[in-house]
Structure 1
Amino acid sequence: MDTEPTLNNLLKKLNSIYFVLGLSYDSVKATRKEKLIQRFIYILNFFWLNSDVLGAVCWFINGVLNGKSFVELTYVAPCVTFSFFANIKAYTLIHYEAFVSELINSLRSLEEIENTRARTKERDEIIGKDVKFLNAVINVSNILNFGLIITFFTSPLILIVVKYLKTNHWDLLLPFLIIYPFDSHDIKYWPFVYLHQLWSESIVVLNICSTDYLLYICCMFIRVQFRLLQYDFKRIMEDNNVLFNNEAFTREFVELVKWHQELIRLSAILEKVYAKSTLFNFVASSILLCLTGFNVMAMEDKTLACTFLVFLSASLLQIFFVCFFGDLLMKSSTDVSYAIYESKWYLANSSAEKNLHIVQTRAQKPCKLTAFGFADVNLRAFMSILSTAWSYFALLKTLYNPNKA
């Protein structure tokens, strides 16, 4: 098996995204000049994006005051929510950059230690299958996120052409409903505004996917380490005859316990970094799924409906993968307990048996991500989000009267 660090290979996929966003997953190694450049790019993107967010909020308020249709108001609401969500995601990495660097460097150290161990087919399969799956998830997410950007970019152009063919009149449209201090539909400004909104959309999508990809990578590599730990615990009695070589057993057992404690510590760091943004993610996802689903149902324009269908798919997949990887982390940590149970502990002497039981009891308390302590991040939480979103959607559908819109 190739012993080149797998973690570094995966992180390289994030380098270009993090550069254009002004973010970093390893700020400790960055020079002062590099940090200044990163901060400059981040601040530039922040004001670029939020100038459009402010305009969208003003449009929404103005729309409410001037009696805009309910469908038009729900058109802009998901986009504003998604943008606030992207701001929080990006700020999370900035605020906790020291913890992120510590987490990444600790995972690198664990991978280096693993590469010094004797290779076996089972160990290679544990690493290979999980890394292959992680690559597939990132590739699928890239396709959907790129499709989301392209869909919002092209749908106004398609509508412009369609309306021109029907009315023989050019009606310049924009991807998003935003108020500017000038006439954004004037041909002198329209191309620049269009490109401005396109990059704002790209910032939103990249902020969310870049922070999520780092979460997926960390969850998967901690999971891999937990599974390798399980492999060693299962075979600890086979490798050491405790009755005749208690010293060798104790030495290996201590190493496994230190390994387990390190994984618990890294899981706690990951939880600290993502807890607050995950809480907003849970709340925002219910709103996004509800409003976007309503847009798909209520919009008469099929092009716009298809646009929001892609948006709905991206939102659904985003929260699913967050919950899915959180679930993988929880399960792999508690499976250490089962691995110890399968380790032929009954062959050990009383002292070794007691030590194994202590570790087994600790492993029954899962390492997990939470939404700032309000809910665990797992597949059960995903089902709860879907249930909440469906309840909101059903209420909106009941209240919506197209004759009054």
Structure 2
Amino acid sequence: MDTQSALNNVLKKLNFIYLVLGLSYDSANATRKAKLKQHFIYVLNFFWLNSDVLGAIWWFVNGALNGKSFVQLTYVAPCVTFSLFANIRAYTLIHYEAYVSELINSLRSLEEVENARKRTMERDEIIVKDVKFLNAVINISNILNFGLIATFFMSPLILIVVKYLKTNQWDLLLPFLIIYPFDSHDIRYWPFVYLHQLWSESIVVLNICSTDYLLYICCVFIRIQFRLLQYDFTRIVGKASVDFDNEAFTRELVKLVKWHQELIRLSAILDTVYAKSTLFNFVASSILLCLTGFNVMAMEDKTLACTFLVFLSASLLQIFFVCFFGDLLMKSSTDVSYAIYESKWYLANSSAENNLHIVQIRAQKPCKLTAFGFADVNLRSFMSILSTAWSYFALLKTLYNPNKA
């Protein structure tokens, strides 16, 4: 892999998706015409998606008032929740586009500084290993997201064919239960409504995965910078006390401290961009996992059950990866403290030792992503979400009576 442009190579994976969604991670370098075009596409997709979301909410309210089964109501609820989360996630990038652009350009600057340094096998290995892992995660997520879209697209068509073979009658079905101001099952409108729902589903999935991918990319490249910083800190002191050059040490320490402060600043910007939407993600994930798991258990139709099993897998992986990359960022920032401890600080003079100790104490305070300050984004939070979802699911399963549903 060419380490000279690792960040840009990964960001290229987002270009087409962001173009289709009307989003941007580099608005500072975009022309006014490009920004207008981008915002027009975003607004168009926003109204396209939310016309279906409003119809689904109305179906849910109308169904609850008119005695629809509990299983049917829980069929709609996860989809509406997922759609609302997609809206919030996409709006995050629009609202904080200046911060996002600053973050990306700062990471590019740090990468340029790194590329100007003397190349070593250890430094290159740090970059290549993390970037390969990031690419693998994105590729796996792409496959799962495509499978989610394809599953919701194909399952109604399969059910239509199966019912026709059993009853010799066409029963036109749609991927989602949505009320329209016309008969959506009329053959004159059905194909257009079907395609409309398919693109709405695509917008939801792409909004979430594209903004999540940007989060993963930022976390990994900040982590890479932290690991390179650790590499330099472990080698900041010479081989023996008689060789110690206090002046050279001070210059190097100042450079590393400024580098450390910049990474702390970038981590804070990343948290500012994602904190609010992550809070909704944490709250919604427990509900999504609970209701989707319930759908898989309660639905008699195996095709629909398989559809929601894919949905459950996608939801589970989405929140897992968010927590996983947040955990990576947190751990890499605190590892700076261990790197200083592993340096040959005992060979330096007392003044240098004190300066290193100050940096070490600061590094013990982790840089982290938060759910708007209510929780840290790490693997411990992921376990809490699973625990909460399981509690809700167990309660729902206990209260559910299939004879009354």
- The corresponding residue for 1:195 is 195
Distance 2:15 2:239 in 1: 42
- The corresponding residue for 2:246 is 246
Listed one character per residue, the Cα deviations across residues 48-87 of structure 1 (whole Å, up to 9, x for unaligned) are 0000000000000010011000000000000000000000
Distance 1:215 1:101 in 2: 13
Distance 2:240 2:97 in 1: 42
The one-letter code of the counterpart of 2:110 is L
1:168-247 correspondence to structure 2 within 5 Å: 168-238=168-238, 244-247=244-247
Listed one character per residue, the Cα deviations across residues 263-299 of structure 1 (whole Å, up to 9, x for unaligned) are 0000000000000000000001000000000000000
Q: CA deviation at 1:326?
A: 0.2
Whether contact under 8 Å (1:21, 1:207) holds in the other structure is yes
- The corresponding residue for 1:382 is 382
- The corresponding residue for 2:279 is 279
- The corresponding residue for 2:119 is 119
Structure 2 residue 308 is matched with structure 1 residue 308: yes
Structure 2 residue 46 is matched with structure 1 residue 74: no
Distance 1:238 1:353 in 2: 13
Whether contact under 8 Å (1:290, 1:389) holds in the other structure is yes
Whether contact under 8 Å (2:324, 2:378) holds in the other structure is yes
The one-letter code of the counterpart of 1:234 is T
Distance 1:186 1:311 in 2: 28
- The corresponding residue for 1:9 is 9
What SS does the corresponding residue of 1:397 show, helix, strand or coil?
helix
What SS does the corresponding residue of 1:236 show, helix, strand or coil?
coil
- The corresponding residue for 1:400 is 400
Distance 1:137 1:240 in 2: 44
Whether contact under 8 Å (1:49, 1:200) holds in the other structure is yes
Q: CA deviation at 1:238?
A: 3.1
What SS does the corresponding residue of 1:237 show, helix, strand or coil?
coil
Moved more, 2-11 or 217-226: 2-11
Q: CA deviation at 1:247?
A: 1.0
Q: CA deviation at 1:306?
A: 0.1
Aligned length: 405
Whether contact under 8 Å (1:243, 1:348) holds in the other structure is no
Q: CA deviation at 1:344?
A: 1.1
Structure 2 residue 355 is matched with structure 1 residue 355: yes
Q: CA deviation at 1:252?
A: 0.8
Q: CA deviation at 1:150?
A: 0.1
Distance 2:145 2:382 in 1: 20
Specify every segment of 5 or more residues in structure 2 that has no aligned partner in the other structure, as ranges.
none
What SS does the corresponding residue of 2:185 show, helix, strand or coil?
coil
Distance 2:152 2:196 in 1: 13
Whether contact under 8 Å (1:241, 1:249) holds in the other structure is no
Whether contact under 8 Å (1:242, 1:249) holds in the other structure is no
Listed one character per residue, the Cα deviations across residues 134-179 of structure 1 (whole Å, up to 9, x for unaligned) are 0000000000000000000000000000000000000000000000
Distance 1:108 1:239 in 2: 33
Q: CA deviation at 1:121?
A: 1.0
The one-letter code of the counterpart of 1:177 is L
- The corresponding residue for 2:26 is 26
Distance 1:289 1:240 in 2: 57
Listed one character per residue, the Cα deviations across residues 336-382 of structure 1 (whole Å, up to 9, x for unaligned) are 00000000101100100000000000000000000000000000000
1:151-170 correspondence to structure 2 within 5 Å: 151-170=151-170
- The corresponding residue for 2:59 is 59
1:288-299 correspondence to structure 2 within 5 Å: 288-299=288-299
Specify every segment of 5 or more residues in structure 1 that has no aligned partner in the other structure, as ranges.
none
**Does the C-alpha gap of structure 1 residues 76 and 243 become closer, same or farther in structure 2, counting only changes over 3 Å?**
same
The one-letter code of the counterpart of 1:237 is V
Q: CA deviation at 1:240?
A: 8.8
TM-score, length-normalised on structure 1?
0.99
The one-letter code of the counterpart of 2:373 is G
- The corresponding residue for 1:131 is 131
Distance 1:163 1:112 in 2: 61
- The corresponding residue for 1:323 is 323
Whether contact under 8 Å (1:76, 1:177) holds in the other structure is yes
* Aligned residues: CA RMSD: 1.0
Whether contact under 8 Å (1:243, 1:349) holds in the other structure is no
The one-letter code of the counterpart of 2:224 is V
Structure 2 residue 131 is matched with structure 1 residue 141: no
The one-letter code of the counterpart of 1:175 is P
Distance 1:224 1:204 in 2: 30
What SS does the corresponding residue of 1:5 show, helix, strand or coil?
helix
**Does the C-alpha gap of structure 1 residues 320 and 328 become closer, same or farther in structure 2, counting only changes over 3 Å?**
same
Distance 1:297 1:52 in 2: 26
Q: CA deviation at 1:129?
A: 0.6
Listed one character per residue, the Cα deviations across residues 212-257 of structure 1 (whole Å, up to 9, x for unaligned) are 0000000000000000000000011137968642111111111000
TM-score, length-normalised on structure 2?
0.99
